[in-house]
Amino acid sequence: MNSNFKRYIIFWLSQALSQLGSSMTTFALILWAYTQKGTAMTVSLMTFFNYLPYIILSLFVGTFVDNHSKKKIMLVSDSIAAICSLAILCLNIGNALQIWHIYLVNMIIGLMGAFQDPASDVALGKVVPKEKLEQISGMNSFSDNLVAVLSPVFAASLFAFGGLKLILIIDLLSFLFAFLILLFVLKIPDDIPQKAEKKSVFIGCKEGLQYLKQHNGIFLVIITMAVLNFFSRLTYENILSPMILSRSANDSVTLGIVNAVMGIGGIIGGIIVSSGKIKANSAKMIYISAMLSFLLGDIMMGLGRNGIAWSLAGLAASLPIPFINAGQMVILYRNIPEDMKGRIFAVRNAVQFSSIPLGILLGGLLADYVFEPFMLTQNPITQVLHKLVGEGAGSGMAVMFLCTGILGSLFSFAFYQRKDIRDL
């Protein structure tokens, strides 16, 4: 196990490099799409078409993942995603690339992710010793946030130098490296029955949901993460950029600094978790961390009026995230039986990420048609809110951060009090 764990570290590094390539491609496609259409909805739909098929298919792939080689599933899924990047490259070289091509490719990548993610989750539990789970979660948070900090910088520079073609070529090379590491270096043991009972995809989904129904604490943890994802996409992933730009006279430098600081916060949190020195129980890691993130992050973000305040808010919001992820990982891997992991992780992904497209679509609508117009009116409520967040463009979005801060912290505190969660 120790030898294979070292192999997993090499695999993790290769995946981080591949993730950097994919993130650069995503950012470059956003730049390309925005220059073509010039609308925020174009960008939102790119994310929407990625998540929607992922969520729907995730409900039904659990049995397939449990009864097939995890390594083969990961290799095939990665290969199809790479073929999609290659197709985009060919279309771009031929000056035939259109927006709907990107939507279609994002749908296919979402479908592959529905197979890839639960297979990867199960494989991790087979390779990584249980006492190393928190450290691995911290390492994943570290690499995720490092990629989040570096990919926009690299992508913007390379896009200006060589355009979309250069970034796609780098993405494909990083995929090839990670693919070879997975194929030849990482060994993933598979306990697959020689004569696995054939089950309908609906049976696998039903079994996963039945298991969660019988283990209410685990199901509530998954629901918690779905709500956290909803709040995140409602504000940070959706209206943070327009709020800062509208309140700082379109100062893109300030926006870049705030986003960088948020990434650094995640990196610091990831380093702390991966050190293995955090001994808090898993429920506390999830809910106390989430409560602090909402209280110190969202509320400060709403009250802030300048780059320093927004940067401190971003740091406070992002630093606890690796603790939340580590707490969830430990609870799931230690409580779900090995032969059910594929079905449970597949259903988990469908439930946990179902709130993301809703948050993406709802956040923009609430900002444009509810909160921003409301803050332009004069009444006793807006007079109080003006004293808190200021007036003018962006003030309505600032109030949205106050709302998610209050609701999110109350939600986290309430769920932490539940005995069935704390017993986990």
When pLDDT is cut at 50, 70 and 90, the band that residue 24 belongs to is confident
Q: In this structure, are residues 28 and 164 in contact, taking their beta carbons and an 8 Å threshold?
A: yes
Instruction: Quote the mean pLDDT of the chain.
Output: 85
* Euclidean distance between CA atoms 88 and 84, whole angstroms: 6
Q: Which of 117, 18, 351, 329 is nearest to 211 (CA)?
A: 351
For residue 187 the two structure tokens come to: 């060994």
Q: How confident is the model over 255-307, as pLDDT tens digits?
A: 778 888 888 999 999 999 888 776 668 888 899 999 999 999 999 999 998 98
Instruction: Tell me the one-letter amino acid at 163.
Output: G
The answer to whether 369 and 241 are in contact (CB under 8 A) is: no
Helices within 94-132 (DSSP H only): 99-127
Closest CA to 52 of 364, 361, 365, 329: 361
| 263/387 Cα distance (integer angstroms) | 30
For the CA atoms of the chain, what is the radius of gyration?
Answer: 22
| pLDDT tens digits for range 160-217 | 888 889 999 999 999 999 999 999 998 888 766 555 555 555 676 777 778 888 888 8
Instruction: For tokens 């702390």, name the residue.
Output: 272
Which residue segments constitute the domains of the chain, with CATH numbers given?
Answer: 1-185 (1.20.1250.20), 212-424 (1.20.1250.20)
Q: Measured between alpha carbons, how far is 8 from 86 in angstroms, rounded to an integer?
A: 27
φ, ψ of residue 141 in degrees (nearest 5) = -65, -40
Cα separation, 346 vs 70, whole angstroms = 13
Give DSSP secondary structure letters for 214-228: H-HHHHHHHHHHHHH
Q: Taking the mean position of all CA atoms in its chain, how far away is CA 326?
A: 14
pLDDT at 202: 60
- Greater confidence, 289 or 233? 289
Q: What percent of the chain has pLDDT over 90?
A: 35
Q: How confident is the model at residue 105 (pLDDT cuts 50, 70, 90)?
A: very high
The Cα–Cα gap between 340 and 353 comes to 20
